[in-house]
């Protein structure tokens, strides 16, 4: 049994898109607004058999920065201490490479 949109509580909508010269497409404004897409945002095109999905690609840097900040807060480490530790790690790696 294949789940329907009612079973999964996911809205399925269709948007006609025309393929233009050079393979360009335009994401309809209603969808841009709903997904909070802005000019220059990265999207990912997925091919699953004969199905094509276009999804917003979320940048990883803000998520990683949030994780690093949370770890620093949990450990009670400030930016100056983090940078000092980074310098010590760099020196240790350099020394390992020299000894190898």
Same domain, 52 and 76: no
Q: What pLDDT, on a 0 to 100 scale, did the predictor assign at position 13?
A: 86
Three-state secondary structure readout of 74-97:
HHCCCHHHHHHHHHHHHHHHHHHH
Domain count, the chain: 2
Same domain, 52 and 67: no
CB-based contacts of 86, cutoff 8 Å, min separation 6: none
| Residues of the domain holding 27 | 5-56
- Give the model confidence (pLDDT) of 36-88 as tens digits: 898 888 898 888 888 888 888 766 677 778 888 898 899 998 888 888 888 88
21 or 5: which leads in pLDDT:
21
- Reported as a pLDDT band with limits 50, 70 and 90, residue 20 is very high
72 CB-contact burial (10 Å; exposed 0-12 / middle 13-18 / buried 19+): middle
Q: What pLDDT, on a 0 to 100 scale, did the predictor assign at position 44?
A: 87
Question: What pTM does this model have?
Answer: 0.47
């Amino acid at each position: 049994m294949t789940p329907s949109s009612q079973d999964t509580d996911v809205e399925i909508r269709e948007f006609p898109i025309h393929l233009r010269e050079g393979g360009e497409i335009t994401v309809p404004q209603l969808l841009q607004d709903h997904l909070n897409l802005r000019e220059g945002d990265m999207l990912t095109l997925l091919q699953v058999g004969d199905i094509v999905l276009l999804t917003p690609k979320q940048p990883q840097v803000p998520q990683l920065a949030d994780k690093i900040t949370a770890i620093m807060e949990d450990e009670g480490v400030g930016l100056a201490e983090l940078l000092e530790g980074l310098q010590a790690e760099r020196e240790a790696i350099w020394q390992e490479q020299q000894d190898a």
